[in-house]
Amino acid sequence: MLYALANTYDQAAAAVFQNIGHIERRAAAVSLLQAEHFLSEKRADLAGIEYRHAVLLRPDFEGAIPALDKNASSAASEDTAITESDARASFALGRYWLWRGDAVKSSALLTHLAKMKPADENARRYIVAAQQASSKSRMADDAGPWPALFEARGYVESNEFAHAEEVLRKLLNDEPRNLDALLSLGKVYKKWAATLLDKMIELNADSYRVHQLFGQKYEEGAEYDQALQSYKTALAIQPELAGMRYAIGNVYWKKRQYDDAEHWLKEELKRNPHHGITHYRLGSLYTDEGKADEAITHLERALESHPGLTAARFDLGRALLSKGRYADAVSALNKVAAEEPANDRVHYFISNCYSKMGRSEEARAEMAKYQELTRKRLELAQQDVRDASHSLEKNK
């Protein structure tokens, strides 16, 4: 039961964090989460870049990762644009401190925001409001979402996770796109899961469930050899543990040891032929190896179990294309394009299908979509590089 709860909260945290990226990929919260991820992988330089970027956009994030605080700086930059979500949060926090009667904190935050470059017109509105605000003005009459956010943080500090979740869920009912509430909720779930793991260790440190959870933690941190050791230890203790052979095969796939990956994935399917995610991973592996017939079989099985697994549908489209089943490939890939509007690669493959079918005009239209989406993706990547370069220069 403890394992099930810990695993559930870990998965809930991952889902919340993923949602933040979907709402606003340029938000400070995304950089903060990236910094934590890089730090877990022992990639301190990249972690530092992401953390400094997060603190630059949101000075109130300083202190969130103590190991990276040494070189953090919140000095505003002309090169870094702030999005509406971060500008709104900073402005609301500045107003909150004014509401609390702390003019110094309010002024520091609003002054910082006033110097930022806006990413869009919506962000500009908050920057202009910050420029016009004065710490000497009358006390703010609206504290915004921050009392609830600070209340939730207080509950987390005392390990009262259920109360923290209740407060944050209530806030998210009113503001479902509030990134600070989502970030706090994800962290509640992560800490809740860690507390449950500690309880499991206290009860039985050599439990197969403990080894399984440690394997998941190692895998999250890209410590793949340790993950394999933990997973295999769990399997030795409990040979019939469902899904463990998939977990081992998946780690081998991440290590690019494809023969070992194929072996363990097949072993999982021998015991559980309906394990959809194993079918997906094996089908993806076969697609990359050019084994289209095997790939199609496994990917279709994966989609029977998980119709919403877009990655499996994308690989199925590629495999169907390689087999010359162009109409079927177009059908699969068009569904992917509808589900992932920013996916440039899918339009490249659709264009190839239409070209093979002799539908030149449609092929050109799809290639134009591919080129436009690729251009936008590269522009965003170049902006990220510029932001990272400026952060490095500023902190030399």
Whether 395 is covered by a domain: the verdict is no
Residue type, 190: K
Whether 69 is covered by a domain: the verdict is yes
pLDDT digits (tens, 9 = 90+) for 196-248: 999 999 999 999 999 999 999 899 888 999 999 999 999 999 999 999 999 99
Please give, one letter per residue, the 3-state secondary structure of 141-185: CCCCCHHHHHHHHHHHHCCCHHHHHHHHHHHHHHCCCCHHHHHHH
Of 97-111, 157-171, 319-333, the range with the lowest mean pLDDT is: 97-111
Whether 132 is covered by a domain: the verdict is yes
Whether 286 is covered by a domain: the verdict is no
Whether 113 is covered by a domain: the verdict is yes
pLDDT digits (tens, 9 = 90+) for 109-131: 999 999 999 999 999 999 999 98
Domain count across the chain: 1
How, if at all, do strands 81-82 and 117-118 pair?
parallel
Full residue range of the structural domain in which residue 20 is found:
2-192
The fraction of the chain above a pLDDT of 70, given in percent, is 91
**What is the model's pLDDT at position 135?**
47
Alpha-carbon gap, residue 309 to 231, rounded angstroms: 25
Whether 151 is covered by a domain: the verdict is yes
Burial class from Cβ neighbours inside 10 Å (0-12, 13-18, 19+) for residue 126 reads buried
Given pLDDT bands bounded at 50, 70 and 90, which one contains residue 44? Answer: confident
pLDDT digits (tens, 9 = 90+) for 81-103: 899 999 999 999 999 998 888 88
Given pLDDT bands bounded at 50, 70 and 90, which one contains residue 389? Answer: low
Whether 153 is covered by a domain: the verdict is yes
**What is the model's pLDDT at position 268?**
96
Of 117-121, 257-261, 323-327, 387-391, the range with the lowest mean pLDDT is: 387-391
**Residue 103, CB-side half-sphere exposure with 13 Å CA sphere:** 7
On the question of pLDDT at 385 being above 70, the answer is no
pLDDT digits (tens, 9 = 90+) for 326-359: 999 999 999 999 999 889 999 999 999 999 999 9
Whether 74 is covered by a domain: the verdict is yes
